[in-house]
Structure formats: structure tokens, C-alpha cells
Structure 1
């Protein structure tokens, strides 16, 4: 059975037991006018100007977006990682994968409003990991960048065209689900595919919950956006 068929079957099962409608996602509230305009433009497929908004550049704190997979219930490791990041002073929120376009629009709007200084991180698991690449590519098409992107076992092979300074993909090539990420010609960021096929204790359904991987990601977040918002040097 192919990956798409397996996800469809899982979706039907969840619908039957009443879980597919579960919505516990933390959503962005109080969107600024700039964010709303960017969201609407990207929904139409319009390219946004890479020029900063006129006037004094705003100071916008780093944002970390964590994205769950199928039915918003299979990626509880994203909630755990978000809690660890919040405990360290970061603004970390959890989202369902269908909101990726809105997340991309918010990142672009914040970068424009801050004259390119705003730093964002996107992290996702499974279908949420697929959404990470969608976000990065959309951000790149609109002249912005993500400081760090981390994928946990994406389910389809995708090509990274731009928009990420660093992209790390944790995947298992032998678990029947995980896929590697490729870089398009001209991609100038740093792409790392880390195949965890030898880690027998991991699977597609718990890879995003591993505390060792969480510790690595938290360290990379500090390098990318700073400790409690204060930038630190990369090692």
C-alpha cells in the first residue's frame, strides 16, 4: 500500500472514531494588517514585494512554529518540544499542517516590517514536515528567509528551492514513510539529511518525541535566533 493510501486509510479510521475533528492547535491571534494582507496575497498566489515597509523598522521577537501531522493528533512530540522551548523563553506555538500558508505569510510580513531582521524557525513532523518545506519555499519566493527549518520524517520527497538558512531533515529511509529532501540548483542555504535507519527504537510514529533529538533542535534554535531572543554564535 502506498503512502497516500495509508494516510487515507488512517484518516477514515479517525473519522470513524471521532478524532479527525479534534482541533487543539494554537493559532496566531491579533494579526496585524500587514500579516493579513500578506496572507491574502499568498492565498491568491501573488508575489510579495521584498522591499521593507516604509517607515521605521519594527523590532519583532523571534517566532518558532511547530507543525503537527495527520488529523492534528499524531504528533504530540511537537507539543512537548514547544513546551521545552517556551520554558526557555521562546515564543513557540503549535499548529496543524493545513495552516502552512498562513504561517508563511506571517513570516514574510514580519520580515518586511522589521527590514529583514525578524528571525523565524519552523519545525514539523510527518505531514507537518512536508508543510515545513512548503513554508520555506513560499517564504523564499517572496524574498524572505527562515533562520532554521527542522523536519521529522517527511512523507514525500520534496525539493528545497530557497528560503532557509539551515534545513535539517531527520528521517528513516527504512521505516516505510520517511523521505529525504533534495536541494534545487541555486539553493544557497545549508541542507542536512540525517538518516536514522540504524535507530531501531525509533519509528515514524515516535521520531518527533525523542528527547535526544529535542535537545539537538533546542541547541540549533539557540544558534539560529539566540538564547531568549539574544543571538549567539554558531558552533
Structure 2
């Protein structure tokens, strides 16, 4: 099935929902504008108020695991660190990338392009990251940041990311560079960690120093976490 057909099927399945698996209800916000409640898969209800006719939504960080959805546990650890800092971070298997792309595109359309997303992937998840980024760009969207941990096949990024960072090892038998296609207008960085003897393809995603760097990049790309009204009231 072609990429456009896969995205079309996913978008159809969403049926206008802002996020996959969400049920949307409209009400009235405290400022008189309509309010949208999105029940996320973890049961938490996130409320997004419309101001000036444009929906506001906190940034979202998606992390994608590699082979068999049991390796790449570093994505889970990084996700936990991001959540501890207040970010909306979720972990997915790499085959979910078309659904993630559709979610991002739907959210950006709902917010007039203001919704910001970050996607991180390891191994096969890093391979899927390039496909996801290109698909988002081809459909008029963008990622604030994309971070790949040791992709295993050479790929080109055609668009869809303001900043794309590839953390790889040229000497571990797996990692490879990511190339920029002609016309790519984002910032692409290939960072070769071949000199780090303590790293391998199987633990590069778990390195605490790299996690700290990625968290710093997230902050630079989307700012600090934005708390919902309920969270702010509880403080």
C-alpha cells in the first residue's frame, strides 16, 4: 500500500478526532469560548480551550521503539524522564508511525499550525522516524524536533522537521547517516558517536548523557512543559 493511501486510511479512521483513540466533546470555556475535552488513552482528560478561534494544545513528544517492540527500552526511560518534567510523552512501536503522523497533522490543522510535536526513535524506530518526518512534510505539517538513535539503513529527509538530529555510530555495524534531500530547508545534524567505546547499537538509546541532551533539545524546540488548567490549580 502506498504511503498516501496508508495515511489516508489512518486519517479516515480518526474521523476528525484530534488525537487517535480520543472522544471529543464541546462545551463552553470560562472565557465564553468553546472548550474541547480529549480523553486520552491513559484515561487522563486534557482540556484545550479555544481562544481567538484557534485551539491551544500543549506540545507532544512521541518515542518509537525498535525491533519487536521489546528492545529499545531506553525510549521508555527517556519518556519517563520527560513525563517527570511535565511533558506529554508517549512510547510507541515503530509500526505506529502512520498513525502518529496522522495525529500530528490533525492536531496542527486544528490549531492553525501552532501544535508542536517532537518525535524520537531508536533502531527501526529511527528508520520509521525518517518516513514519518517526510510524510508530515509532504502533507503540509512540521515537527519541531526529530531525534534518531542509530538508524540502520541510509535514508533521506525531504522535509517536515525544523531540526533533525541523528545520533549514530559509524563503527558499530549498524548505525548510518541520514542525508538531506535537495530542497530540504530544515537543520540536519549527523553526530557520530563512534568514539564512545561504551556505546553500542543496543545501549545507545539508554545513555543518560544522551537523554539529558535530548531533553535539553526538547526544551529549546518547544519550550518548557505547559500545564493544563487543572494541574495549575492543584499547585
Q: Same fold (TM over 0.5)?
A: yes
Aligned match of 1:189: 186
Choose between structure 1 and 2: higher strand proportion.
Answer: 2
Q: Distance in 2 between matches of 1:95 and 1:213?
A: 20
Q: Distance in 1 between matches of 2:226 and 2:64?
A: 21
Shift of 1:179: 0.8
Aligned match of 1:122: 119
Q: Distance in 1 between matches of 2:201 and 2:70?
A: 14
Residue 27 of structure 2 corresponds to residue 30 of structure 1 = no
Regions of 4+ moved over 6 Å: none
Shift of 1:60: 1.3
Gaps of 5+ in 1: 1-26, 34-54, 231-235
The CA RMSD over aligned residues, in Å, is 1.7
Aligned match of 1:15: none
Q: Distance in 2 between matches of 1:221 and 1:123?
A: 10
TM-score, length-normalised on structure 1?
A: 0.75
Aligned match of 2:208: 211
Residue 80 of structure 2 corresponds to residue 83 of structure 1 = yes
Partner residue of 1:65 out of 55, 62, 66: 62
Partner residue of 2:163 out of 166, 169, 176: 166
How many pairs align? 183
C-alpha distance after superposition, 1:102-132 (max 9, x if no partner)? 0000001100100010000000000000111
